[in-house]
Amino acid sequence: MSDAQANEAEKNIEIWKVKKLIKRLEAARGNGTSMISLIIPPKDQVSRAAKMLAEEYGTASNIKSRVNRQSVLSAITSTQQRLKLYNKVPPNGLVVYCGEILTSEGKERKVNIDFEPFKPINTSLYLCDNKFHTEALAELLESDQKFGFIIMDGNGALFGTLSGNTRDIVHKFSVDLPKKHGRGGQSALRFARLREEKRHNYVRKVAELAVQNFITADKVNVAGLILAGSADFKNDLNQSDLFDNRLATKVIKVVDVSYGGENGFNQAIELSAETLSNVKFIQEKKLIGKYFEEISQDTGRVCYGVEDTLKALELGAVEVLIVFENLEINRWVLKDSNGAQTILHTTKQSEAANREQFMDRETGQEMEVVSSESFLEWIAEKYRDFGTTLDWPKLMTMMTTMTIDSLMPSHWARSQLQSNRRAKFCHTALPSPVRHDGFLSWRKPYLRPYESLKTRRYPHVSHSKTNSSSTPAISFLGPVSSYTHQAALGCFDKEKYDYQPAISIPDVFEAVQSGQAELGVVPFENSTNGAVIFTLELLADRHSLYKDVTICGEAYLDTSVRQAKRPEIVKGDKTGTSAAIASSLAADIHGLDILAKGIEDREDNTTRFLILRKGVDTSATKPSHEKGKIAGALENLDKYTQDWRWFGSWEDKLSPGLPFVRRMWSGGSVVFNTKSGEQLCLNNIRAACVERIADVSIKGNEGDEKVFVNIERRVGLADTGDDPQMTSLVEMRNIVFMREKDTKTAKEDRSRPQKILRPTRKPDFDVRITPSQSLLFRFSALTFNAHAIHLDPQYCREVEGHKDLLLHGPLSLVFMISVLRSQTATWRNDKKIRLQKLGSTLRK
C-alpha cells in the first residue's frame, strides 16, 4: 500500500468515526442544561479556555435548582480535567463534549469525549445545553473542493455541483425556443432575427443565473466550472461578454453531451472524469465499476459475507476491502465454561431471534461476554494487520436494495478463496435479514387477491432495428434464476429471445429506452411488502430519462425467497456439502437436486411484474367494450390499478352503496410538515401511510342527492410498523358519490354549454404544460387511480355526460407544483396547498 493510499484510508476512517460520533451525540439528550460542547480552534490558548470555564463555574454556582446546579458544576469540572491533559491546542484544534445524558432506560450516564479533529476546525464554541451541538463537526465532513456544472440545450438549463461524492442540483429551468426553418417568405429574416434574439436572451439568463448560483459575497464558491450541452449554447456562453469574468476564468472543461437536464449532468460528470480525477465521487465510481466488472466476468477474485471475508483476510488474500458504512453488525467474543473463546457476528434481528447461539452447550447457560463492539469499529482498527486497504464508498448506499440483496449470500463459493491468486475485491455486506427499506409500507394492501389473474403468454415481438443481435433481447432484474427471470420465462418463449440479466432496475429501463433490449421485466408490487418504490420512481420519470418506455403487460408470480445468487454458490462448492433455498428454476439452471419443496412460511406471497417496451402509448384513444371496460393496453392498466367498480376495492369501503354508484374527486388539500428532518424525501427511507374517513355529509335535492366523503391520509417516516412516527404530510381528499346517470341525462349534460373561467388580470408568469396520453397512463398506474373518466373518452361522454376526458386530480397537483417550482425557490416552504375541482376537461 502506497503512502497516499494509506493516508487516504486513514482520512476515510476518521471521517467515518466523526459521522458515527455525530450521530451518537445528536441522539443524546440530558435532564437539564448540563451537557457542555467546547470547541477550541487551532492557535488558540488552552489557558484562555480554562479561564473561561472557571468563570462559568462561578456563574453556575448561582443556579437555583440544586439538581441542575450540581449536574452543571460536575460537567464543568469534568471539562476542566480534560483540558489539563493538553499543554497546548493540537494543530487541528480541540473538541470536548462532557455531561450527563439519559439512557434508553431513563438512567443518567456521564459522557466525556475529547479529540483532535482530522482537519483544522475554524470554530470557537462553548455551550451548556440539554443537548450536544455538532454543527461544526458536520462542516468538517464537507469536501474541500466543489465543482460547478452548467448543462445547456434547446429545452433548458441545469446548474449543479459536485463535491466529493455528493451531486446536487442547484437550479434548473426550461425554455421554449423557436426551431430553425426556411419558411416565412418576406418575413423569413424577421423570424430569423426573432430566433436569434430569443437565443441571445436565453444565454443572458443562463449567465445571470450562473452569477446567482456560483458567486457568493463577490467570490466564486466553486473550484472550477464545467460547461456541457448538446448544441452550441455552451460555447456561446463561454465566449459571451455576458458571462461573468470571474466565472469565465474558472471554466476548466467544455464537453459535448447527448442529453440535457439531469441525464446530461450525469454524462458530463462521466466525461469530466479525467479532469476531476481527484474528486472522490469519480474515484468511488471507478472502484464500484471495477467491482461489478469482476462479478460479471466471474474471475473468482471477489468474495462476500462477513465470515468468508474474514477467512480471506486471515489468509492475506484481500487487497481491497469495501465496507458498507451503515453495516449494523456486532462482534462478540464469548467464553464458555471450559475457558474456550468463541467469536460471533450478529445483527440486531439475529440476536433477538436466535439466543441459542449465545448458549454454552454443556451447561445450557449463556456464555460469558468477554467483549462486544461494532464490527465496523473493530475492522477499522485491525485492517492494517491483514495488509489490506479499507474503503467504504458512499456509492454503496446509493445502490438499490434489490441489487444489494442479490449480492448478499452468507456463504460464497469457498473454492474461490482457496485460489493462490490474491483476491482483488472483498465486499463485507449485511446478511439477508427481512428487508423493508426498499418498499413503501401501506396499511391497506394495494395488491388485491385476484385469482383469475395468472401469468399470460405473450406473442413473439419482432425486434427493433436498434438491436444489432439477430435475436431480440429481454432485459430483466438479475441475477440468472431470479424471480424476475422466472416471470420473464413465464411470459415469453425461451427460444425466441436472448435473456439478459441487469444489475439494477434502472439498468432495465435504460436497456429498453436505448433499444439494447426489445422488452424489459421489472418487479412492481409485492403482496407482503407493498410497492417497489424504485420502479415507481422510474415510472414517474420526472426527468424524462425514459420518455419512450411504456407498459405493455404484466405477470404474477408466487414468491417465497429472494436468494437467487445462492444456487450458484452451491454449484461452485466441490465438496457437495452445501445447500440453498431457491426456486425450482434455479435448480434446473444450475443442475442441482431438489431436496424439499413447499418450505416457505408464506404461501400467499405474490409479486407483480411489469413488462416494458419502447413505443408511444395511445391507449387513451382506444374505444370501449360494450360494458364500458377500457380496451387494448388499458386492460392491463385496469388490472394493476384499483378499478373503482371492482367489488371489495378500497373505494367500495367508502361508498354508501346503492344507488350511489358513480364517484368523482371534488377537491382537497395537502399540508406539508416543513420541519427539518421530518420531511419526506426520495432517499430510500421507509415511510408508512394511514388513512381514515374524516367526515361524511349529504347535499342536494331529493332524488339528486350527493354523498361527500372526506378522507384523511397521514404519511410519515416509520422505522417499523404501520403507524408513522411523525407526520410528514396530511392529505385531505373529498370524494363525491352520485346516482347512476341514464343515457338521456348524460346526453343533456353533454350538450350544455361549458363554463369557461377566464382570468380577471394578466398573469405574472405563464407556464404551459400539456399532459400526454403516455403521461396520463403512467400517472394512473403510479397513483392506483384508473378511473375511466380520465382514460376512456367514450365512457366519459356517453356514461358520465362530460364533453371530454376530465383532468386527473393528483396529476393536476403535480403540474401546479411544477409551475411553482419553475418560478420560485421557496415553494418547498409552503405549508398548505388547497385544491378545488373545477370540472376541467382534457382536450386532444
Domains of the chain: 3-140 (3.30.960.10), 146-179+192-277 (3.30.420.60), 286-428 (3.30.1330.30), 439-560+600-615 (3.40.190.10), 641-842 (3.10.129)
Going by C-beta distance under 8 Å and a sequence separation of 6 or more, which residues neighbour residue 500?
473, 474, 475, 476, 511, 517
Distances (CA, A) of 392 to 13, 139, 272: 9, 20, 23
Which of the two residues, 523 and 632, has the higher pLDDT score?
A: 523
In angstroms and rounded to an integer, the radius of gyration of the C-alpha atoms of the chain is: 31
Going by C-beta distance under 8 Å and a sequence separation of 6 or more, which residues neighbour residue 236?
199, 203
Cα-Cα-Cα-Cα dihedral sign, residues 434, 436, 438, 442: positive
Rounded (10°) angle between helices 809-823 and 773-782: 110
Read off the pLDDT of residues 135-180 as tens digits, 9 standing for 90 and up.
888 877 765 678 899 999 888 999 999 876 667 899 999 988 877 6
Residues of 505-521 as b/e, b for ≥16 C-beta within 10 angstroms?
A: bbbbbbbbbebbbbbbb
Given this model, what pLDDT does residue 630 score? 31
Which of the two residues, 514 and 624, has the higher pLDDT score?
A: 514
Q: Calculate the average pLDDT of the chain.
A: 72
Q: Which three cell numbers stand for residue 186?
A: 418576406
Which of the two residues, 89 and 406, has the higher pLDDT score?
A: 89
Nearest to 222 by CA among 141, 137, 144, 119: 144
Read off the pLDDT of residues 280-334 as tens digits, 9 standing for 90 and up.
665 666 777 777 777 666 667 777 777 778 888 877 778 888 887 777 788 888 8
- Could you tell me what percent of the chain has a pLDDT over 70? 64
Above 70 in pLDDT, residue 800?
yes
Longest dimension (CA), the chain: 102
User: What residue ranges in 378-453 does DSSP mark as E strands?
Assistant: 389-391, 423-428, 439-442
CA 379 to chain centre: 28
Given this model, what pLDDT does residue 624 score? 36
On whether the CB atoms of residues 32 and 72 are closer than 8 A, the answer is yes
Q: Which three cell numbers stand for residue 234?
A: 455552451
Q: How confident is residue 572, by pLDDT bands cut at 50, 70 and 90?
A: low
Above 80 in pLDDT, residue 94?
yes
Quote the CA–CA distance of 278 and 151 in Å, as a whole number: 22
Q: How confident is residue 115, by pLDDT bands cut at 50, 70 and 90?
A: confident
Given this model, what pLDDT does residue 252 score? 87
How large is the average pLDDT for residues 42-64? 88
CA 241 to chain centre: 41
Nearest to 620 by CA among 785, 789, 751, 460: 789
Which of the two residues, 719 and 696, has the higher pLDDT score?
A: 696
Whole-model pTM over 0.75: no
Distances (CA, A) of 94 to 49, 83, 126, 143, 238: 11, 9, 12, 20, 45
Long-range contacts of 79-86 (CB under 8 A, 24+ apart): 79/36, 79/38, 79/53, 80/50, 80/53, 80/54, 82/112, 82/114, 83/46, 83/49, 83/50, 83/53, 85/114, 86/46
Residue 255 dihedral angles phi and psi, to the nearest 5°: -125, 150
Read off the pLDDT of residues 399-421 as tens digits, 9 standing for 90 and up.
433 333 333 332 222 222 222 23
Residue type, 290: K
Residue type, 740: E
CA dihedral 626, 632, 637, 638 (to 10 degrees): 20
Given this model, what pLDDT does residue 336 score? 84
Given this model, what pLDDT does residue 226 score? 93
Q: How confident is residue 453, by pLDDT bands cut at 50, 70 and 90?
A: very low
Nearest to 262 by CA among 538, 75, 470: 538
Q: Which three cell numbers stand for residue 115?
A: 479529540
Given this model, what pLDDT does residue 640 score? 35
Above 50 in pLDDT, residue 638?
no
Grid cell 404501520 — which residue?
Answer: 722
Q: How confident is residue 479, by pLDDT bands cut at 50, 70 and 90?
A: confident
Residue type, 528: T
Quote the CA–CA distance of 775 and 91 in Å, as a whole number: 58
Quote the CA–CA distance of 120 and 129 in Å, as a whole number: 25
